[in-house]
A and B are shown apart, each in its own frame.
Chain A
Amino acid sequence: MKVYLDNSATTAMAPEVIEAMLPYFSQEMGNAQSVHSFGQRAKAAVEKARREVAALINAAPAEIVFVSGGTEADNGAIRGISEAHRDRGNHIITTRIEHPAVLATCEALEGAGFRITYLPVSRDGLVDIDDVRRAITNETILISIMLANNETGTIQPIEEIASVVAEARARGLDRLHLHTDAVQAVAKIPIDVRRLGVDLLSLSAHKFHGPKGIGALYVRKGTRLAKLLYGGHHERDRRAGTENVPGIVGLGRAAEMARTQLDQRMVRMRELREYLEHQVMSRIANVRMNGDSERRVPNISNLSFNGVDGESLLIALDLKGIAVSTGSACASGSLEPSHVLQALGLTREEVRGSLRFSLSAYTNQEEIDYAVSVLQETVTRLREMAPVDEMDHVQFPDSRAHREPAERGRA
């Protein structure tokens, strides 16, 4: 049996999405910029998809810029704001638990004269609103905080952070912008950009049964942003390059399905996730849940199995056809344990034994049952294989994160 529980990495495309895309690879091959009928049909398909993506997050179609995915959306938002507004400030606020697409972009800006504040998070993975408020200076031009974390699923209080931004703007800090990386949140929870109060939002199609290589950046009307790519006048002059018509059509169809099925998908994923956690906790000892048990997207469960290495668990599960991911060092070849779980203050042992299970709209109970039974057998086997003696009662040094925000870069 094959069980794919790594849907936060990527998802299978919905058959309806594939079907919608297919004509645009061949008979509907037009360039959306062309004047002839082929081009106009492609343009109509692109604009229909734009309306669907806009509807999913309650934006206006003109506020949707199609990009290649979450990484480009994050890069474009952060670099676009910093380039367009650097004459008014050089300070950016983000968190320690962002995706590398945000963190690496911020680190690159440090080298270009920006000062970055990396906010800490609580043990549950939440940013403190007061930390955000205190971090804002007269030089701050951007706050970039993810909506849902990719490892724990924890949902950040973006609406409250937007109120803090609104307060600062009311004091005259009108160059302050708010970006959220919503790649793991879109199609998992209801999203309304007006209620959230963000200026920019990143999303990616392949996280919700759309194709890889396509995503969108929401840019609130009136937001001054440097161009993502220079060239022709595509995407309202924000991003040049011939439109990826099949990809955009696929994103549009995936967005439409996510919007119309959101309620039932949420209930289904949450029930299965709760079932998974209940089964694991009742059948395997010494397991802890990482992140906030309530404030999280319905499809992610991050669990630490004490006394076991996550990567060995991952490989052993993979040999039985089960795909998950781990925050343990060396998985992904980085040799660095998860920066997210470290920021939550987990001990080395807890980070080491962590596994992320991520469900999709298509996961079923039979798959969960199989995964739990193999997991129980594997954890037991690996724990029995581990050396046990009095040393194991010694607590390893705690790597709890500092609660002070870290600041780097030139002032």
Chain B
Amino acid sequence: MYSSQIAEHIANPRNVGELENPSAIGDVTNEVCLDRIRLTARFDGDELADAKVKANGCPPTIAAASVLTELIIGRSVQELRSLTRKDVADALGRLPPAKMHCAVLAIDALRAVIDDLKR
């Protein structure tokens, strides 16, 4: 039903936790299914130097949160802005169409971090 990449992220989620003194926080909830992703990030100038994530929800949400951290660490703000849900879905192999909202939630968390950084 789910790709091996999703299963692998469930078994070994990456960068789980919460940074102390983060530069920015993105905390988003899907009000329909209650899935939630909380992303904390530390920026070094324009570069996202470190990120930690916490997530609660179905397997694709946890996997999307986990893979998101791999996609964003070391990237510039401009590069982060160009990341899309498709990048998240592609990184997870196959994502069932009905589960695309999980990749959307991960991107929402990233956008919330960027918005928080601007403040």
Evaluate whether A319 and B10 lie within 8 angstroms (CB atoms) in the complex, with A330-B58, A335-B98 already known.
Answer: yes
- Which residues of B lie under 8 Å from residue A382 when comparing CB positions? 56, 62
- Which residues of A lie under 8 Å from residue B1 when comparing CB positions? 333
Task: Kindly identify which residue among A312, A348, A386 contacts B59, using a CB–CB cutoff of 8 Å.
Answer: A312
Residue of A nearest to B99 (CB): A330
A354 → chain B, closest Cβ, in Å? 13
- Which residues of B lie under 8 Å from residue A315 when comparing CB positions? 2, 6-7, 10, 59
Q: In whole angstroms, what is the CA distance A349 to B33 when docked?
A: 10
A311-349 with Cβ < 8 A to chain B: 311-312, 315-316, 319, 328-330, 333, 335, 348-349
Q: In whole angstroms, what is the CA distance A385 to B16 when docked?
A: 7
Evaluate whether A385 and B34 lie within 8 angstroms (CB atoms) in the complex, with A330-B98, A330-B99, A333-B1 already known.
Answer: no
Q: In whole angstroms, what is the CA distance A361 to B45 when docked?
A: 63
Q: In whole angstroms, what is the CA distance A349 to B56 when docked?
A: 12
Verify if A172 is at the interface (C-beta below 8 Å from B). no
- Which residues of B lie under 8 Å from residue A311 when comparing CB positions? 58-59
Residue of A nearest to B28 (CB): A387
Task: Kindly identify which residue among A328, A348, A387 contacts B58, using a CB–CB cutoff of 8 Å.
Answer: A328
Task: Kindly identify which residue among A319, A328, A385 contacts B13, using a CB–CB cutoff of 8 Å.
Answer: A385
Verify if B38 is at the interface (C-beta below 8 Å from A). yes
Verify if B96 is at the interface (C-beta below 8 Å from A). yes
Residue of B nearest to A308 (CB): B56
- Which residues of A lie under 8 Å from residue B103 when comparing CB positions? none
Q: In whole angstroms, what is the CA distance A149 to B94 when docked?
A: 35
Verify if A206 is at the interface (C-beta below 8 Å from B). no
- Which residues of B lie under 8 Å from residue A352 when comparing CB positions? 34
- Which residues of B lie under 8 Å from residue A328 when comparing CB positions? 58
Verify if A256 is at the interface (C-beta below 8 Å from B). no
Do B98 and A387 touch across chains, with their CB atoms under 8 A apart?
A: no
Do A386 and B10 touch across chains, with their CB atoms under 8 A apart?
A: no
Do A316 and B10 touch across chains, with their CB atoms under 8 A apart?
A: yes
Which of A328, A329, A330 lies at the interface centre, i.e. has the most chain B CB atoms within 10 A of its CB? A330
B20 → chain A, closest Cβ, in Å? 15
Verify if B57 is at the interface (C-beta below 8 Å from A). yes
Verify if A309 is at the interface (C-beta below 8 Å from B). yes
A319 → chain B, closest Cβ, in Å? 5
Verify if A307 is at the interface (C-beta below 8 Å from B). yes
Do B59 and A385 touch across chains, with their CB atoms under 8 A apart?
A: no
Task: Kindly identify which residue among A330, A384, A387 contacts B27, using a CB–CB cutoff of 8 Å.
Answer: A387
B64 → chain A, closest Cβ, in Å? 12
Q: In whole angstroms, what is the CA distance A385 to B62 when docked?
A: 9
Do A348 and B34 touch across chains, with their CB atoms under 8 A apart?
A: yes
- Which residues of A lie under 8 Å from residue B2 when comparing CB positions? 315
- Which residues of A lie under 8 Å from residue B35 when comparing CB positions? 309
- Which residues of B lie under 8 Å from residue A388 when comparing CB positions? 54
Do B55 and A319 touch across chains, with their CB atoms under 8 A apart?
A: no
B67-94 with Cβ < 8 A to chain A: none
Residue of B nearest to A318 (CB): B7
Do B99 and A387 touch across chains, with their CB atoms under 8 A apart?
A: no
- Which residues of B lie under 8 Å from residue A307 when comparing CB positions? 56
Q: In whole angstroms, what is the CA distance A349 to B1 when docked?
A: 24
Residue of B nearest to A396 (CB): B34
A402 → chain B, closest Cβ, in Å? 21
Q: In whole angstroms, what is the CA distance A229 to B55 when docked?
A: 52
A390 → chain B, closest Cβ, in Å? 12
Q: In whole angstroms, what is the CA distance A382 to B9 when docked?
A: 12
B3 → chain A, closest Cβ, in Å? 11
Given contacts A309-B61, A311-B59, A312-B58, 12 further A-B contacts (CB under 8 A): A312-B10, A312-B57, A315-B6, A315-B10, A329-B58, A352-B34, A382-B56, A385-B13, A385-B55, A386-B36, A386-B55, A387-B36
Sorted from nearest, which 5 A-B pairs have the closest CB atoms? Answer: A386-B56, A387-B38, A387-B54, A315-B59, A311-B58
Provide a sorted-by-A list of 27 A–B residue pairs whose CB atoms are within 8 angstroms: A307-B56, A308-B56, A309-B35, A309-B57, A312-B10, A312-B57, A312-B58, A312-B59, A312-B62, A315-B7, A316-B11, A319-B7, A330-B58, A330-B98, A333-B96, A348-B34, A352-B34, A384-B16, A385-B13, A385-B54, A385-B62, A386-B54, A386-B55, A387-B37, A387-B54, A387-B56, A388-B54
